[in-house]
């Protein structure tokens, strides 16, 4: 440790060359448990699912460092929804509306919308016109060419128009028919069709407000990311590190508390663990109980939050727009041939969910059981084989599957799926493991046939994003290639329904249809753990908002207690 300023302790800095040399000796990644037995440690978790905010006043200063599995493919928010970018973009930039910070929320599932750049918002009677009143006196970061000028409604209008022109978010903003700015601080948005959930859409972590001047000067946003947020992007060195520096002119006076946030690109899990153990990283995600216990043996004072997932972000994506996967019988057979419970019991040591795609909190009060997921989610290999034969494939077939290893357990999952399909259906799956950038581009651009280990982007919090935006046949975010007229009808009806009870009922119909047609074949996922160094405060992760990922805006309220 070294002290730069009296009364302010800063951790010693670490360059990447030194960082990757950290010995990983003694670090063990979770392995598949032989025999499918559930370990005793999984019987009950001693870790809370919520870390209450500190009652002490926050201290200024310090450097937060995190070893990250992700690297931003680009820093242009129009062209990626990757967590590689949005693990920090939500700190350089604001949105009109946001979700609660950990020091405002009472539990992980608190999704009450709060003002960010907008102080208030309201709709007309049919929810086609939304009016946002902006905060006055918000300034862009004091970096050329913005130089600290004031944010206006015209800036937001320009940004939304730019999103609508191109990129992965175009579909969201193309529903805007037009916008008015009656004065500097008022934005009036006219939608093409009614949408009661529109504020949720502009609260998504990817809907950040970027600078007009940068886009006009550079022609894109690939080189500079300048916003109104609590942190200024000081450095972005591809596949090395990202450095964020405290914005001294941030409009939320007195915040943030932490001076600098350093994100080190660290694709190797063992190196990430070693960095955390030696105090060179302050936050780490672990997928299993044994992972956490391994860290606690050497670092017994760490803080651990058990993360209770409301959905599974990963599943087997099928090219269902072409044979053989355009046949629902084939999709149902594949689903029934996969032993999901075995994955939960072994890969995730009993601390996981079977897998579903829409957050259950939007349609029921408790997590779905196996029965809730319907007949095609059950492990029935004999019925699966019969159904595949009826579809014209009694001897199986060959196909491919590609994936990126987001965490070590994912490779075990992929291999279990491969084994199940070979054993029960004689489907030979050739697996290809790609690097993150290669995988992400190939998947979202739909440059594949056969199968992929697909995902729905982790940024999505709102109900409209999780249904209409990800499942409507015309959506550019429809990565699973869903093309179902009933889903189109239901998701459109949902966004036109203001009553909360009716929304829940429609959402349940969407989910039931998805399961029945096996439109997205979700796989088990961990109810994993966020592990923090003992000195971290106000870092709890909310539902769908992990502190180390899309929920990074939480860092604006976090502080280091040293």
In the predicted model, what is the mean pLDDT of residues 385-392?
98
- Indicate whether 494 pLDDT > 70: yes
pLDDT of 36 higher than 90 = no
Residue 10 has pLDDT above 60, yes or no: no
CB-count exposure of residue 377 (10 Å: 0-12, 13-18, 19+): buried
Q: Could you tell me which residues are beta bridge partners of residue 8? A: 5
The pLDDT value recorded for residue 407 is 84
Q: What is the mean pLDDT of residues 114-130?
A: 98
Most confident region among 20-24, 38-42, 246-250 by mean pLDDT? 246-250
Whats the size of the chain, residue-wise? 562
Give 45's pLDDT tier (boundaries 50, 70, 90): low
Domains, the chain, in order of start with CATH, read: 97-218 (3.90.76.10), 314-526 (3.10.105.10)
Model-wide pTM > 0.95: no
Mean pLDDT in residue range 367-387: 96
Task: Give yes or no for residue 23 having a pLDDT over 80.
Answer: no
pLDDT at position 453, please?
96
Task: Return contacts of 168-177, CB within 8 angstroms, 24+ apart.
Answer: 168/78, 168/79, 168/80, 168/81, 168/444, 168/476, 168/477, 169/77, 169/78, 169/81, 169/206, 169/207, 170/476, 171/469, 171/474, 171/475, 171/476, 171/477, 172/201, 172/204, 172/207, 172/465, 172/469, 172/477
pLDDT band at 458 (very low <50, low <70, confident <90, very high): confident
Q: Is the pLDDT of residue 27 over 80?
A: no
Question: What pLDDT sits at residue 309?
Answer: 86
> For the chain, what is the radius of gyration of the CA atoms?
23
Instruction: Report the distance separating Cα 211 and Cα 218, nearest Å.
Output: 11
Check whether 41 has a pLDDT greater than 50.
no
Per-residue confidence (pLDDT) for residue 59, from 0 to 100: 97
**536 CB burial (10 A radius; 0-12, 13-18, 19+):** buried
What pLDDT, on the 0 to 100 scale, is given for residue 64?
98
If you average pLDDT over residues 165-175, what whole number do you get? 92
- Residue range 435-448: average pLDDT? 89
At residue 293, does pLDDT exceed 60?
yes
The confidence score (pLDDT) of residue 1 equals 32
Average pLDDT (61-81) is: 94
- Better pLDDT: 36 or 429: 429
pLDDT band per the 50, 70, 90 thresholds, residue 151: very high
Q: What is the mean pLDDT of residues 17-34?
A: 34
């Amino acid at each position: 440790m070294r002290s730069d300023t009296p009364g302010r302790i800063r951790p010693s800095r670490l360059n990447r060359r030194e960082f990757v040399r950290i010995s990983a000796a003694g670090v063990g990644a979770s392995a598949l448990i032989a025999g499918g037995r559930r370990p005793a440690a999984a019987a009950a978790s001693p870790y809370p699912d919520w870390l209450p905010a500190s009652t002490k006043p926050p201290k200024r200063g310090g450097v937060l460092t995190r070893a990250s599995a992700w690297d931003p493919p680009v820093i242009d928010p129009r062209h990626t929804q990757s967590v590689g970018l949005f693990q920090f973009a939500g700190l350089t930039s604001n949105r009109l509306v946001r979700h609660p910070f950990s020091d405002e929320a009472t539990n992980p599932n608190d999704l009450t919308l709060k003002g960010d750049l907008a102080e208030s918002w309201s709709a007309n009677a049919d929810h086609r016109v939304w009016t946002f009143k902006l905060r006055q006196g918000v300034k862009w970061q004091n970096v050329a060419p913005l130089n600290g000028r004031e944010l206006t409604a015209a800036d937001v209008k320009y940004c939304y128009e730019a999103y609508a022109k191109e990129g992965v978010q175009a579909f969201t903003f193309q529903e805007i028919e037009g916008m008015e700015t009656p004065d500097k601080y008022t934005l009036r948005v006219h939608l093409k069709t009614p949408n009661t959930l529109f504020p949720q859409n502009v609260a998504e972590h990817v809907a950040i407000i970027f600078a007009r001047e940068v886009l006009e000067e550079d022609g894109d946003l690939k080189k500079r990311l300048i916003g109104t947020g609590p942190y200024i992007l000081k450095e972005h060195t591809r596949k090395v590190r990202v450095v964020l520096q405290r914005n001294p002119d941030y409009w939320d006076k007195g915040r943030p508390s932490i001076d600098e946030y350093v994100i080190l690109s660290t694709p190797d899990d063992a190196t990430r663990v070693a960095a955390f153990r030696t105090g060179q990283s302050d936050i780490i995600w672990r997928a299993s109980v044994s992972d956490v216990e391994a860290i606690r043996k050497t670092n017994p004072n760490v803080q651990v939050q058990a993360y209770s997932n409301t959905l599974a972000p990963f599943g087997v994506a099928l090219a269902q727009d072409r044979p053989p996967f355009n046949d629902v019988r084939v999709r149902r057979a594949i689903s029934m041939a996969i032993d999901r419970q075995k994955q939960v019991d072994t890969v995730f040591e009993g601390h996981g969910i079977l897998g579903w795609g829409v957050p259950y909190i939007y349609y029921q009060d408790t997590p779905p059981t196996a029965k809730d997921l319907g007949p095609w989610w059950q492990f029935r290999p004999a019925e699966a084989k019969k159904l595949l034969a009826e579809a014209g494939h009694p001897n199986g077939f060959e196909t491919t599957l590609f994936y990126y290893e987001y965490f070590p357990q994912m490779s075990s999952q992929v291999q279990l799926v491969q084994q199940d399909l070979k054993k029960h259906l004689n489907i030979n799956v050739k697996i290809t493991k790609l690097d993150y950038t290669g995988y992400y581009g190939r998947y979202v651009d739909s440059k594949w046939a056969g199968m992929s280990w697909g995902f729905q982007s982790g940024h999505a919090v709102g109900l409209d994003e999780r249904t209409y935006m990800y499942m409507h046949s015309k959506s550019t975010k429809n990565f699973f290639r869903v093309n179902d007229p009933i889903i189109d009808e239901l998701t459109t009806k949902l966004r036109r329904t203001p009553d909360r009870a009716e929304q829940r009922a429609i959402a349940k119909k969407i989910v039931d249809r998805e399961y029945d047609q096996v439109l997205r074949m979700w796989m088990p996922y961990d109810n994993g753990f966020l592990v923090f160094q003992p000195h971290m405060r106000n870092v709890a992760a909310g539902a769908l908002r992990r502190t180390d990922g899309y929920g990074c805006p939480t860092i604006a309220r976090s502080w280091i207690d040293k």
